[in-house]
Amino acid sequence: MKNLVVLVFALFTLTAFGQKKVEEVIIQTTAECNECKERIENKLNYTKGVKFADLDVLSKKLTVKFKTKNITLQEIKTIVSELGYDADDTKANQEAYKSLPECCKVAGMEHTEGK
Amino acid sequence: MKYLLYLSFILFSFGSFTQVRGIVYGSDTLQKSKIFGARIVLLQNDIKLITDEEGKFEFNLPKNLPDTMVIKAMGYYPDTLFLGKEDRFSNFQIVLYSVQLIPEIVVSYKKGTKSISKLKSLLVEEISSDELKKAACCNLSESFETNASVDVSISDAVSGAKQIQMMGLAGVYTQIQMENIPYLRGLESAFGLNSIPGTWVNSIQITKGTGTVVNGYESMAGLINIEIKKPDEMEGLFVNGYGNIFGRGELNLHSGMHLGKSKKWSTGIFAHGSTLQAKLDQNNDGFKDIPTGYNAAFMNRWSYHGNRFETQFGINTYIDEKVGGQLNFSRSLPITTQSAYGVLNKTKHIDVFAKTGFLFKGKPFRSIGILYNVKYQETDAIFGLRNFKGIEKRAYINAIYDDIIGSTLHKTRMGISAVYADFSQNQDSISDDRLEIVPGVFGEYTYTGIRLVNVIGARLDYHNLYGAIFSPRLHTKYTLSEKTDLRFTAGRGWRVPNYMIDNLSLLATGRTWVAPAEIKPEISWNIGGSIVQEFKFLKQKASIVLDYYYTFFENQLVVDRDVSKSTIVFTNLADKSYSHSFQAELAFALSKTIDVRAAYKYLDVKAIYNSLLQAKVMVPTHRGFLNLGYHSRNKRWSVDATGSLFGKSRLPLTLLSNGLSTTQNESFVFPMISGQITHVYKKWEFYIGGENLGNYTQNNPILDAANPFSTTFDATRVWAPVMGTMIYGGFRYSIPHKELKKEVGNL
C-alpha cells in the first residue's frame, strides 16, 4: 500500500513537472496595419493569464506569453478570431471581420481605389 | 569536374552580382509598410515583375542601359527611377506615397521613439509623442530634457525663464516653428517656450544647421519644428492632470472630432491651465526659488481635406503672469511703496494661422501651398526698479509652389514670402521702436538620385531698413550603403536682433546696460556634416550618429560682460565669433525591452569679449548624456532614467559687495539625473517621477541677495539648478479618435 501511494505521488509530481506553467507561442495572423496591432494587443494584454502579446506588423506574427493555468492557446486564438483576424488555423469571425476599418481587411493596405 | 564546379560557382556569383534588388514601401503620414504586389516595369528592356510578401524584388541588370524603372501600386502615386550601369550593386529602398497626401508633406517614419529620418536630405531628429512622455514635460521648455542636441538652461535665478541653446549658441539663433510657420520670434523669444503645453505636441523635428530656404531666413544654428496634434488624428478626448512637491498643478484637456457625414472636416479644441502658488526658498537667500503665478492657453483648430483642396486654420491664445523676487514682495501693492525686490512678468498673445493647399488634376507632383499668420503679442517685465514693456503686431505670408522637371528626379520649390512686424519696445528710458517689412523670394532645386540627394536653395529678402540680403543653402545626402548615410550642409542665415527681449533675463542685475549705437542684422554661416551608421548589436537595431558643425558670424550683436565688472555692453561685432560643435550619439537595445542611448557633446564657442577672443560664458565645453528606458512586453509598465553630466564653463568676472572680484570664475562639473515610472491600464496612464534626483544646486546663485537694489546685485550668474530634487506625479486619460485617417479608399 505504501509503495502504491509513493508511486501515485511520484507520477503526480512527474506530470506536474511535465506540464509547463508559462508558454510562449507565435501565431500567424492576418493583421494588416498598426491599428490592427493596437486592437489585438490591447485586448490580449488585459486578458487574465496573458503575460504579454506583441504583434509584428510586417510579418503579421503575434507572439503571446501566457500562463497555462489561466488560459489556453485555443482560447487566445478565439479572442483573435473574434476581433476579426485569422489565428493560425482558426479563421476570423466573419461578423467581426466585416466591421473592421478598411485598412485592417486582407490586403487593405494596397487594394484601394487610386484617384 | 572540380573545375566545372568552380567555373559554375564563379559564373553563378557573377550572375548574382549583377542582380538589382530592392524593397518597395508604401507610406501615408501615419506609418510606412511594405507593399506586396507592387508592379515594377523597365520601359526599354520590357521587364515586368511584382514585389513579394516582404515588398522585395530582384532582377538581373539588363543589357540595354540606361533604362527607366517605373514602380506602381494601387492607392499610391507611381515613382520613376533612373537605372544605369552603376546599379550593379544597388539595393533600392523605394517609398511610394499614398494618394491621400499632397507632395509637400515631408515623410518620416517611426523607428522607435526617437529616430533620424533617413529619407530626408537634412539630418532631422524626430521626437515623437512617446519620447515626450519619457519625462513628464509640461511645456515645450521642458521637452528637451531627454535630448542631447538641444540644451535648456535657466538664464536668471528670479524670473523662472528657460532658454534653449543649440551648438552653444543662444536660442534666438534657432528658428522655432509651429507646423512650418515661424513661431516664437520677436517678443516671444524670451519666455515663449512656456506657451506650448507638452500634451498638445504630436512630434518635434530638430534640424541642425541652416534649414531649407522655404522656411525663412532665420535658422542660423538650427530649426525646431513643432507639430501640434491634428484634428483628424488626435484623441477623441484627452485629459491630463499633474502635480509636484513644489506646489505646481496643471490640467490639460483636448478633444478632436470629425464633422458631418463626408468626414472631410474635423476640429480640435485644446485647453491648458497651470498654477504655482507656494513660496519656496530652499537656499534661504530671501528670494523665491521659483516664481509663483499661473498661465493658461487655449487653441481651436480646423482641418478640411478635399480632393483638390486642403486647408487648416486655427486660433490660439496664451496668458502668463508670474511673480518672483523677494518673499516679502507683494504684487498687489505698487512697486514704489515696497522696499522688497520684485520680479513681475506678464505675457499674452493671440495668434491666428491658416494653411491652404491646392492640387492639380492629373499632376500629383504639382501643388501650391500658402501659409498665413497674424499675431498680437504683449510682454511686460519688471525686475526691481528696471522694467521692459513691449508690444508686437505681426503678419506673415508664405506661398510655395511645388513642381517637378520631367520626372521626380528633379523637384523644384519656389515662392514668395512677406513679413510685417511692428515692434514697440521700451527698456527703462530707452526706446527701440521698429517697423519691419520684409518681402522675399526663394527657390530650391532637389535632385534625387539613387544614392545622392542634393538640395540647392537660395533666398533673397529685402528688409526695409537694411536692404537686400541673400541666403544660399546647400544640403547633400549620400547613401554610402544600405546602412550608412553621409550628409553635408552649408548655408547662410540672418536675423535682426531685439537686444532687449533677447536678453531680458539680464535685467536681474545691478549692472548697467550699455545700449548699442546702432542695430545691424546678425548674419552667420553654418557648415557641417554628419554620418549616420546603422548596425546590429545583440541581434537588435543599433545606430551611431556623428556630427560636426562650424558656425561663424559675419556680424553679431554680442552681449559683453567682460568690458567692465559693472556693465553689460551690447555691441555689434564684425570680428571673430564662432562655434565648433561636435556630437556623437549611440543608440542600441540591450534586449527587447531595454533601450540605451548615450551621447557626448563638445562645444567650443568663442567671440571677442573686451577685445580678447574668449569663451562665451556659461557654455560647458563637454557634456555627457545617458538615457535608459525599460518597456515591459505587455506595454503596461515603462521606466525611464536620464543622466547628464555638464562640464566646466567660464563665468563672468563680477564685482562682489565687499569690493573684491569673484574668485570662482569657472563653474563646476555637475550631474542632472531624472527618472520616471509609468503604468498603463487600458485608457488610463499613471506616472510618477523626479527631476534633479542628485539634488545638485548652485550655492548662492544670487550675488549680494541682501542688497537687491545695489550695483553688485546679480542674479544672472546661474549655471546649475536653483532648486533641489523635485518629485511629480500625474495621470492621463484618453479615448482614441473615432474615425482614424486609416479609411483609405473611403474618401
Do the domain assignments include residue A14?
A: no
B635–A41 CB contact, under 8 Å: yes
| A34-45 helix and A73-83 helix, angle to the nearest 10 degrees | 140
User: What percent of chain B lies above the pLDDT cut of 90?
Assistant: 63
Asked whether the CA dihedral B356, B359, B364, B370 is positive or negative, the reply is: negative
pTM score, whole prediction = 0.82
Rounded distance between C-alpha atoms, residue B47 and residue B593, angstroms: 45
Cell 473615432 appears where?
Answer: B738
pLDDT on residue B173: 93
Q: How high is the pLDDT of residue B744? A: 32
Is residue A71 helix, strand or coil? coil
Least trusted range by pLDDT, from B126-140, B338-352, B650-664: B126-140
CA-based end-to-end distance of chain A: 83
Measured distance CA(B176)–CA(B185) in Å, rounded = 8
pLDDT of residue B137: 67
Burial B163-196 (b: 16+ CB within 10 A, else e): bbbbbbbbbbbbbbbbbbbbbbbbbbbbbbbbbb
A88-92, B261-265, B497-501, B682-686: range with lowest mean pLDDT: B261-265
Contact A66, A22 (CB under 8 A): yes
* The predicted structure's pLDDT at residue B263: 78
Q: Residues B727-737: what's their mean pLDDT?
A: 93
Number of domains forming the structure of chain A: 1
Separation of alpha carbons B110 and B487, rounded Å: 20
* A88–chain B nearest CA distance, Å: 17
pLDDT at B9: 40
∠ CA B140-B142-B144, nearest 5°, is: 90
A7 contacts chain B (CB < 8 A):
no
The alpha-carbon gap from A3 to the nearest alpha carbon of chain B, in Å, equals: 47
- Check residues A111 and B676 and name the one with the higher pLDDT: B676
> What does the alpha-carbon distance between residue B635 and residue B522 come to, in Å, rounded to a whole number?
49
Give B737's contacts in chain A (Cβ within 8 Å).
none
Counting Cβ atoms within 10 Å, is residue A66 exposed (0-12), middle (13-18) or buried (19+)? buried
Q: Which helix (H) or strand (E) holds B478?
A: strand B467-481
SS3 B644: strand
**Domain membership flag for residue A44:** yes
**Single-letter amino acid code for the residue at B736:** P
- Could you report the per-residue pLDDT of B366-376, keeping only the tens digit for each? 889 999 999 99
pLDDT for position B396: 96
B371 to chain A, closest Cα gap in Å: 26
Of B30, B73, B681, the CB nearest to A110: B73
Residue B644: which of B613, B675, B666 has the closest Cα? B675
Contacts with B, A 79-98, CB within 8 Å: none
**Predicted pLDDT of residue A110:** 42
Of the segments A5-9, A53-57, A71-75, which one has the largest average pLDDT value?
A: A71-75
**At a CB cut-off of 8 Å and minimum separation 6, what does B736 contact?**
B235, B236
Residue of B34, B634, B636 to mutate when probing chain A, most A C-beta within 10 A: B634
Residue A13: its pLDDT value, please? 62
Cβ neighbours of A67 in B, within 8 Å: none
* Least confident among A97-111, B191-205, B564-578, B696-710: A97-111
Q: Which of B25, B27, B30, B31 to mutate to test the interface with A (most CBs of A within 10 A)?
A: B31
Instruction: Provide the grid cell at B407.
Output: 520626372
Answer yes or no: are the C-beta atoms of B160 and B153 closer than 8 Å.
Answer: no
Q: Does residue A93 lie within any of the structural domains?
A: yes
Check CB contact under 8 Å for B633 and A101.
no
**pLDDT, tens digit, for every residue of A91-100?**
888 888 888 8
The CA-atom distances, in angstroms, between A16 and each of A11, A12, A24, A77, B159 are 9, 6, 18, 25, 67
- Choosing among B734, B735, B744, B747, which should be mutated to test the A contact, i.e. which has the most A CBs within 10 A? B744
More confident residue, B24 or B117: B24
A101 touches chain B (CB under 8 A): yes
Does B540 contact A at CB distance below 8 Å?
Answer: no
A115/B307 touch (CB, cutoff 8 Å), yes or no: yes
> At residue B7, does pLDDT exceed 50?
no
Question: What does the pLDDT read at residue A17?
Answer: 60
* Residue A10 included in any domain: no
Which residues make Cβ contacts (< 8 Å) with residue B247, sequence separation at least 6? B276, B277, B278, B280
Cβ contact A65–B38 (<8 Å): no
Closest residue of chain A to B634, computed from CA coordinates? A52
CA distances from B559 to A61, B170, B246, B529, B616 (A): 59, 11, 33, 29, 9
**Candidates A34, A54, A102; nearest CB to B31:** A34
Q: Is the ipTM of this complex over 0.90?
A: no
Question: Which pLDDT score is estimated for B112?
Answer: 37
A4: in domain? no
In chain B the domains, ranked by start, together with CATH numbers, are 19-97 (2.60.40.1120), 228-735 (2.40.170.20)
Asked if the model's pLDDT at residue A103 lies above 70, the reply is no
Boundaries of domain holding A72: 20-103
pLDDT at residue number B69? 84
Interface residue A1 vs chain B (CB under 8 A): no
Rounded average pLDDT over B697-712:
92
Q: Residue range B434-450: average pLDDT?
A: 93
Region of B594 (left: φ > 0; alpha: ψ -120 to 50; beta: rest) is beta
CA angle B245-B250-B252, nearest 5°?
A: 150
Whether B99 and A114 lie within 8 Å, measured CB to CB: yes
pLDDT tier, B244 (very low <50, low <70, confident <90, very high otherwise): very high
Q: Cell triple for residue B662?
A: 569673484
Cβ within 8 Å, pair B744-A103: yes
**For B685, phi and psi rounded to 5 degrees?**
-135, 135
- At residue B133, the pLDDT reads 82
Mean pLDDT estimate for chain B: 87
Segment B581-640, tens digit of pLDDT: 999 999 999 998 999 999 999 999 999 999 999 999 999 999 999 999 999 988 899 999
Measure B54 CA to nearest chain A CA, in Å: 8
Q: For B497-528, give one letter per residue: b (16+ CB within 10 A) or e.
A: bbbbbbbbbbbbbbbebeeeeebbbbbbbbbb
3-state secondary structure of A38: helix
Kindly give, in sequence order, each residue whose CB lies less than 8 Å from that of residue B636, ignoring residues fewer than 6 positions away.
Answer: A45, B679, B680, B681
Domain containing residue A29: CATH number: 3.30.70.100
Nearest chain A residue to B632 by CA: give it.
A52
Domain assignment of residue A47, yes or no: yes
Q: What is the pLDDT of residue B523?
A: 97
Nearest CA among B144, B185, B154, B166 for reference residue B223 = B166
Q: What percent of chain B has pLDDT over 70?
A: 91
> Is A12 a member of any domain?
no
One-letter amino acid at B557 equals L
Strand B169-170 vs strand B162-166: parallel, antiparallel, or unpaired? antiparallel
Whether the pLDDT of residue B259 is over 70: the answer is yes
Residue A70 domain-assigned? yes
pLDDT for B89: 52
Over residues B459-493, the pLDDT tens digits come to 999 999 999 999 999 999 998 987 899 999 999 99
- DSSP 3-state of B9: helix
Q: How far apart are CA B367 and CA B389, in angstroms?
A: 43
Neighbours of B684 (CB within 10 A): 12
How many whole angstroms separate alpha carbon B713 and alpha carbon B568? 13
- pLDDT tens profile B45-59: 778 888 887 788 878
Look at A46 and B682 and tell me if their CB atoms are within 8 Å.
yes
SS3 B191: coil
Given an 8 Å threshold on Cβ–Cβ distance, is B742 in contact with A103? yes
Phi, psi dihedral angles at B131 (to 5 degrees): -65, -40
Report pLDDT for B232.
Answer: 85
B33 → closest Cβ in A57, A65, A112: A57
CB B277 within 8 A of CB B691: no
pLDDT at residue B347, rounded to an integer? 93
Going by pLDDT thresholds of 50, 70 and 90, the confidence category of residue A19 is low
